A and B are shown apart, each in its own frame.
Chain A
Amino acid sequence: MSKKIDISLTVNGERYVHAADTRTTFADFLRNDLRLTGTHIGCEQGVCGACTVLVDGEAVRSCLMLAPQADGASVVTIEGLCEPDGELGVLQRAFRKHHALQCGFCTPGILTTAHALLTQEPDADEDRIRDVLSGNICRCTGYITIVQAILEAREGYRERSRSTAMK
């Protein structure tokens, strides 16, 4: 039997203290322990990008991270991308407008990846967006509408970075 280890972390602004199984990936921990099932697990070997979350502001594959490694981290998952009032966030609205999803399995990982990118680089151009998206596999929509949606969402992130800069 593997051991458990107490970890504390912040996920989408909420603080959790939880005993994590030492052999659990962070992806399984989010889904099974914290019941945040918006994070999807596709390949479990770090190639598909479906399980992408933000750890301390950086996009990472949560299947390639051990749950105990998230101790002390500040995490954003797909559940944290909506507006404070629960409405869809700027990226999510753009995805809906451009029909940038079909089955939706890869979508949480693509949204979290794009969120990390635009937060850090709100002026990312199409080449940069495509380069970054190479780490996320979508097998039904194709990337054209996804890229269009992310391009459109940039303005919202630019505004956000301007208002943060003024504060």
Chain B
Amino acid sequence: MKLPDLDYIRPQTLTEAIDVLVAYDGEAKLIAGGQSLMPMLAFRLLSPKILIDISRLPGLDQIEVTPGGVRLGALATWRDIERHAELKIAHPLLAAAISHIAHYQIRNRGTVGGSLAHCDPASEFPALVTTCNADVVIVGLEGERIVKGAEFVLGAMTTGLAPDEIITQIRFPAWPKARRWGFEEFARRRGDFAMAAAAVFYDLDSAHRVVNPHIGVIGEADRAIRLKQVEDLLAGQEVDRQLAAKARTMGEQTAQPSDDIHAPANYRKALIGVLIERALAASAGIQLSTVAT
């Protein structure tokens, strides 16, 4: 469908953008890449009075690799991340997960801030923010505040962002070089939203036992969540094939997806279990004797 009737403004500064958001009192929408917002407008799921185009606000597309971690400006696109040579070392999980997002043309315009603000339950970026508990930097009338990823991603298309606030940066905690990780996703077609995915990372102590395990999954609920029970299973253990299999079983048992148009709940449970197992196997360099996929 053609878009609903709406006005358009392209402010020059962040302050000006916030002023317009405040003035429209919930009836304005921010647009940057527009890769989620434009389809919603075309379906008329939304009809804001005005779109505030923040895509050219200066300085918000920076990617910084610092000793404290990786900082992504909200306007950084998937392509910017893909082309950033250092990120594959500075945050390999981020680089790997990003590679599953959408298609070539969408990756050129889609932004990290937009994906996070949109917060589709099946999208990779909010799942990363949850799994890594990244800091989300937000600016509003009262200035800047920082929200932890776990408190920002609240549900399907539901976040901790107020209607008059703008995400400016996402800060991922520093990634130790020796950290083990794996990311596995299943989608029916290349570039589609994930039917399920598992992001895994942990550190090793001097005896090669798991410390600080993080397991985030997509497909389990109305948002990406961490599976604490599976994390507890891993803590203090050595990752081998048996442990990965146990994690699969536990993941399958603890995950509580619901039936939907794409798959019955039991199928998704099995998928989540298998993806956890594969991600763990990848993290430890274990070959799983599965049939070719």
Q: Which chain A residues have a beta carbon within 8 Å of chain B's beta carbons?
A: 1-3, 5, 22-25, 28, 44-46, 49, 52, 58-61, 63-66, 68-69, 71, 113, 116-117, 131-132, 134-135
Contacts and interface: CB of A to CB of B under 8 A. Distances in A.
B104 A59 contact: yes
Nearest to B103: A135
Given A25-B38, A117-B104, A131-B190, A60 B109 contact: yes
Contacts, number: 93
Nearest to A52: B105
A61 B4 CA distance: 19
B10 interface: yes
B85 interface: no
Interface in B69-117: 79, 102-106, 108-109
A131 B99 CA distance: 11
A58 to B, nearest CB: 4
Contacts of A25: 2-3, 38, 42
A147 to B, nearest CB: 14
21 contacts: A1-B5, A2-B6, A22-B8, A22-B51, A23-B3, A24-B3, A25-B42, A59-B105, A60-B105, A61-B106, A63-B42, A64-B35, A64-B39, A66-B8, A66-B31, A66-B51, A68-B10, A131-B104, A134-B103, A135-B102, A135-B105
A1 B190 CA distance: 40
Interface of B: 1-8, 10, 31, 34-35, 38-39, 42-43, 51, 53, 55, 79, 102-106, 108-109, 189-191
Contacts of A131: 104, 190
Residue from the set A60, A68, A132 with the largest chain B CB neighbour count within 10 Å: A60
Given A23-B4, A68-B10, A135 B104 contact: yes
A135 B191 contact: yes
B104 A63 contact: no
A163 to B, nearest CB: 24
Given A23-B5, A44-B42, A46-B39, A66 B105 contact: no
Given A45-B38, A59-B105, 4 more contacts: A2-B7, A23-B2, A134-B104, A134-B190
A64 B189 contact: no
Contacts of B10: 68, 71
A117 B103 CA distance: 13
Contacts of B191: 134-135
Contact of A45 (B6, B39, B53, B108): B39
Contacts of A24: 3
A25 B51 CA distance: 13
Contacts of B3: 23-25
Given A45-B42, A60-B109, A135-B105, A66 B34 contact: yes
A45 B41 CA distance: 9
A63 B39 CA distance: 9
A25 B4 CA distance: 11
B34 A69 contact: yes
A46 B38 contact: yes
Contacts of B34: 64-66, 69
B109 A64 contact: yes
Contacts of A71: 10
A68 B53 CA distance: 9
A30 to B, nearest CB: 15
Contacts of B106: 46, 61, 64, 135
B7 A3 contact: yes
The 9 A-B residue pairs whose C-beta atoms are closest, nearest first, are: A135-B103, A134-B190, A22-B8, A58-B108, A64-B38, A45-B39, A23-B3, A132-B104, A2-B5
B1 A134 contact: no
B273 to A, nearest CB: 27
Contacts of B39: 45-46, 64
A116 B279 CA distance: 34
A52 to B, nearest CB: 5
A153 to B, nearest CB: 17
B38 A66 contact: yes
